[in-house]
A and B are shown apart, each in its own frame.
Chain A
Amino acid sequence: MAITMNAMWIGIIATSVIAFLLKYLGHSVPERWLSHPRVLKINSLIPIALLSALVAVQTFTNDKNLVIDQRLAGLAVAVIALLLRAPFAVVVISAAATSAALYHLQ
């Protein structure tokens, strides 16, 4: 789990520079370069894949081990809240409360 301070700063600075360059490039190149329908479709799908993977890793893993713990219950409550069209704050807080309650019962 140990991440060094240096690695964190490298991640922050590198991501900041690339994030800005991507934004600036968009304002600088002709639109026809990248407006192919398939490029647009793939671009809209990338966040779904990466964020789903992040949810999986943050809920079910501990270092390199697959685990089931209080986080699964928290996520299940979040899914229920989302299905009930609850506001974002309710989704996050209900998940946190469930997880914290189970953590203290263990």
Chain B
Amino acid sequence: MSAVNRATLAQSLSVSLPVGAYGIAFGAAGVAAGFSVLQSCLISLLIFSGASQFALVGVMGSGGSALSATATASLLGTRNLLYGLQMAPVLRSRRLKKVIAAQLTIDESTGVAISLEKSGSPAMAQGFWYTGIGVYIFWNLFTLIGALGAQAMGDPAAFGLDSAVPAAFLGLIWPRLSGGRERALAVSALALALVLTPYVPAGVPIISTALLAVLFGLRGRVWR
């Protein structure tokens, strides 16, 4: 293995292990929301996109319908479509390899690949595969551990799981709240969801805030 390979592998591991360990929070959240251990594990294996998974169990756990949960989770998954657009010319995968590449297209695999842009397409592809496979293995392993742990605990509130889940969401969005527009959007979405909660079916207050994202995105200049 060349020096470039080792450096890429090290970078991929340094991303995939901590991110994968985060799967423990998802496994626990799934069971706390009322999903079985098997269902929580299947969600990680099949959906394999953190924010969408948390949204699915979060919306259904708070009483939302399958439709509003699926719509919310899918809106969070549109990000991966854009990542695929960026990665396709780099990976040039066909058939089965393209199917696997698609499933591994998430924040982290794309992020590591883009960070290697200066090293050329082969290094980017390597970063994508190492990180994607690494996160897939660790994320699913830790989902199982988290789900079994939560199942053993029983009452979620007695162990503070009812706070651990929103705290985990907050940890997910915190790094994105870098600018004024992002922070204003977060506060507006929080307020809108609470104002709507008493009046509309569960799940609707959450997906309604996607409109706020569109409004905030259309307003003013665009920074890339």
A residues lining the B interface (CB < 8 Å): 1, 3, 7-12, 14-16, 18-20, 22-29, 31, 33-35, 37-38, 40-61, 63-66, 70-71, 73-75, 77-79, 82, 88-89, 91-93, 95-101, 103-104
Contact = CB atoms under 8 A, between A and B. Distances in A.
Most buried by A among B65, B83, B181, B206: B206
A103 B156 CA distance: 11
Given A49-B189, A52-B185, A91-B171, A96 B160 contact: yes
B103 A15 contact: no
Given A20-B103, A54-B166, A12 B171 contact: no
Given A9-B39, A18-B70, A71-B166, 18 more contacts: A3-B63, A7-B60, A12-B39, A23-B80, A26-B87, A28-B84, A34-B85, A47-B76, A48-B176, A52-B186, A53-B193, A88-B168, A89-B21, A91-B171, A92-B25, A95-B167, A96-B161, A100-B158
B212 interface: yes
A49 to B, nearest CB: 4
B206 A45 contact: no
Interface residues of B, number: 104
Contacts of B34: 1, 3, 8
A51 to B, nearest CB: 5
B102 A24 contact: yes
B63 to A, nearest CB: 6
Those 6 A-B pairs whose CB atoms lie nearest each other, nearest first: A26-B84, A74-B163, A96-B160, A99-B163, A42-B217, A100-B160
Nearest to A100: B160
A54 to B, nearest CB: 5
Contact of A99 (B66, B74, B162, B191): B162
Interface string B156-190: 01111111111111111110110001100111111
B51 A47 contact: yes
Max chain A CB contacts within 10 Å: which of B70, B99, B172, B223? B70
Contact of B167 (A11, A48, A78): A78
Interface stretch (B9-17, B40-48, B115-123): B40-48
Contacts of A70: 157, 160, 162-163
Contacts of B214: 42
A60 B162 CA distance: 11
A104 B54 CA distance: 27
22 contacts: A11-B66, A12-B39, A12-B42, A14-B70, A22-B81, A23-B83, A23-B84, A23-B102, A34-B85, A41-B217, A41-B224, A49-B210, A50-B209, A51-B54, A55-B169, A61-B62, A61-B197, A70-B160, A70-B163, A74-B167, A95-B164, A100-B158
B66 A57 contact: no
Contact of A82 (B39, B42, B63, B170): B170
A105 B212 CA distance: 39
